[in-house]
Amino acid sequence: LKSFLRDGEAEAYHGVDVEFRNGSEAVMTIYDKDGKELEQVFMHGIENKERMHQLMVDKGFQRKSEEEIKEAYERRQKLNVVVDKRLKEEKKRRADRLKGKVTVEPNRDEL
């Protein structure tokens, strides 16, 4: 289940966004076109990716084209690079503060 969500396989379907919440059960919340909640599906009992993909189809989600999936993957990779850079900068600032050093904040517009 974790790899299905973290590796972007869930987002290979149109209209799917994954939001991670630490300490929470995995729940698929399905909304109508107006944003009204229609259903919640608790996913803890789903054992493998095949069943996850089947659940997506059973709930009416349509898989994106290979080109759309590739573009989404590339966007995710670029975002991961930015996030990793910010995390490293924050880690360095914290270490510097512990050593009594002052660190200048980077201009967020450049990131």
pLDDT tens column, 11-59? 899 989 888 777 888 898 999 989 999 999 998 888 889 999 999 999 9
Q: Cα separation of 96 and 11, whole Å?
A: 38
pTM over 0.85, yes/no: no
Angle at 110 (CA atoms; ends 104, 111), nearest 5 degrees: 95
Average model confidence (pLDDT) for the chain? 85
Whole-number pLDDT of residue 102: 63
| Mean local confidence (pLDDT), 74-83 | 83
Q: Cα separation of 90 and 57, whole Å?
A: 41
Whole-number pLDDT of residue 107: 64
